Amino acid sequence: MQPDQRRKASVDGDFFTEYGEGSRYRIEEVIGKGSYGVVCSAYDTHFGEKVAIKKINDIFEHVSDATRILREIKLLRLLRHPDIVEIKHILLPPSRREFKDIYVVFELMESDLHQVIKANDDLTPQHYQFFLYQLLRGLKYIHTANVFHRDLKPKNILANADCKLKICDFGLARVAFDNSPTAIFWTDYVATRWYRAPELCGSFFSKYTPAIDIWSIGCIFAELLTGKPLFPGKNVVHQLDLITDLLGTPSPEAIARIRNEKAQRYLSSMRKKKPIPFCQKFPNTDHLALRLLERMLVFEPKDRPTAEEALADPYFKGLAKVEREPSAQPVKKMEFEFERRRMTKEDVRELIYREILEYHPKMLKEYLEGAEPTGFMYPSAVDHFKKQFAYLEEHYENGSTGAPPERQHASLPRPCVLLYSDNPVQSSTEVIDDLSKCHIKDVEKPDNAIPMTRLPLQVPQNTQGGASAARPGKVAGSMLRSHCIGAATAEVPEQQRMARNAAISTQFSASSCSYPRRNPTCKSERREDEGSNGLQPRPQYVTSKVAATQGGTGNHWY
């Protein structure tokens, strides 16, 4: 193997660690790093295409960061649109309750709008128009789903060399529901300050509208026209100064609608400023483009157009088409119920795992049905009990003397057969011969039976030894009683036998067995009243042992 190949294999191993699906992707190069982790370009050998894989490290170190990741992957699953980045796959973690990293596979984009503006000084009016059209078209889809992005900026807009743009990074997005209260506590520290709407500058308690995203799009469009940010504020006060320098001092009515008293006092005490004409601020720019920009950069949110209204502007004549501008179905409230309650790390981990399963349909179906995954390493005790019982039904009626299948893995309890016999010296061969003559028989609950919830766990001792002596220390599986019809029985005090038979009959009649029973008649010609000691499973006891084995739940993934 060449040194480059060895280095490449080492990078793949270090990047994916223990994630088995990582072998499907061939890592090519690192294209981005941040506090969240690293992004690499890779080749998907399964579909034969290039992708971007975002590895997010230690996502549960802080619940707020994990909630942000959950919000983003959920929204990107729900918002499928040509102008919104697409999640193609999320790697399945090796452990459902212990994973710390996630690998999100995106479609690969070459750059972002920040780099495009920075590196290209030869953009044409056609570029400006097409860029703004894509942004508004994607924003219309987002807003019709009742979602506010709240962090639109050039770095959160991916770009390709063919001028295709895609909106990304929905970590700060929020969903607004029709029945939400008129006032919601949303922190104003949302969009990056330079692209933050005036109503977010110091206003802590208000119900935001989609107009905050329209303002951000206006700032981005202005940056496209000039090649530099429009309002590069150093702090909130400086930001308001830059905004009022261009737009002028807001009217007293607009200031009165600001909820933050400090912001009100500051704007009221500000010297009166006159607005600067946009044609002076943006010389040599198409007048239709400036007219639309003026509509988007308005101090009052209610005066800004919606994304749909902006698309209908004459600036897009001949470009915008109704069939290219689909609307989204409103996001269901239940999808974001987690936003309204306090979440623990375990809660967020389970919700993120549930989102990951959306990209693994077969395992999602098993998860929703409560079944064990197909890749489970060890068979469950319930499955093993079913196999044993089916084996007994199939073989012993044909006279087979083979032993039922035993558990093969030492990590789970091993079942054994306990022989409750009236004959302490009966051999195992005689028991098997007797079982071959019997069918399963229903037993009737005696009127004077003593109620019991489960059978005693102690193993009856064979005082005279022999092959039939049950070994203490083994866990009981299904119960097989050996005093079957036709078996030789020893003399036992009548009172003791009746008490034990009554207790066992009570247990089996009280438990609900889901397996079909056979004809209660026996092959031998014994009396009907002697058939009450037939073969009976103990489903209730086995169920309790399964719960103990699997930690009290029936849906573990390993």
Q: What is the pLDDT of residue 136?
A: 96
Residues 164 and 230 occupy one common structural domain: yes
- How many helices (H) and strands (E) the chain has is answered by 17, 14
pLDDT digits (tens, 9 = 90+) for 230-263: 999 998 889 989 999 999 999 888 888 777 778 7
Radius of gyration (Cα) for the chain, nearest Å?
36
Q: What is the pLDDT of residue 273?
A: 92
Q: What is the pLDDT of residue 16?
A: 74
Q: What is the pLDDT of residue 382?
A: 56
Q: What is the pLDDT of residue 355?
A: 95
Q: Which domain holds residue 465?
A: 381-549
How far apart CA 404 and CA 388 sit, in angstroms, is 6
How far apart CA 446 and CA 490 sit, in angstroms, is 24
pLDDT digits (tens, 9 = 90+) for 498-554: 655 555 555 444 444 444 444 444 444 444 444 444 444 444 444 333 343 444 444
Show binding-site residues for ATP. Answer: 55
Residues 400 and 461 occupy one common structural domain: yes
Domain contains 215: yes
Out of 112, 151, 422, 434, which one is annotated catalytic? 151
- Across 158-181, b (16+ Cβ under 10 Å) vs e yields bbeeeeebbbbbbbbbbbbeeeee
Residues 350 and 424 occupy one common structural domain: no
Q: What is the CATH number of the domain that holds 2?
A: 3.30.200.20
The count of structural domains within the chain is 3
Domain contains 361: yes
Cβ atoms < 10 Å from Cβ of 357: 20
Where would I find the beta strands (DSSP E) of 77-130?
A: 87-90, 102-107, 111-112
Domain contains 557: no
Domain contains 376: no
How far apart CA 20 and CA 23 sit, in angstroms, is 6
Q: What is the CATH number of the domain that holds 150?
A: 1.10.510.10
Cβ atoms < 10 Å from Cβ of 455: 17
151 noted as active-site residue: yes
Are 496 and 486 in contact by the 8 Å Cβ rule? The answer is no
Domain contains 554: no
Residues 441 and 459 occupy one common structural domain: yes
Q: What is the pLDDT of residue 95?
A: 86
Residues 119 and 97 occupy one common structural domain: no
- Spans in the chain with pLDDT lower than 70: 1-14, 17-18, 178-191, 202-207, 322-323, 371-387, 389-391, 393-558
Residues 98 and 133 occupy one common structural domain: no
Residues 487 and 417 occupy one common structural domain: yes
Domain contains 72: yes
Residues 188 and 135 occupy one common structural domain: yes
Residues 153 and 228 occupy one common structural domain: yes
Q: What is the pLDDT of residue 260?
A: 73
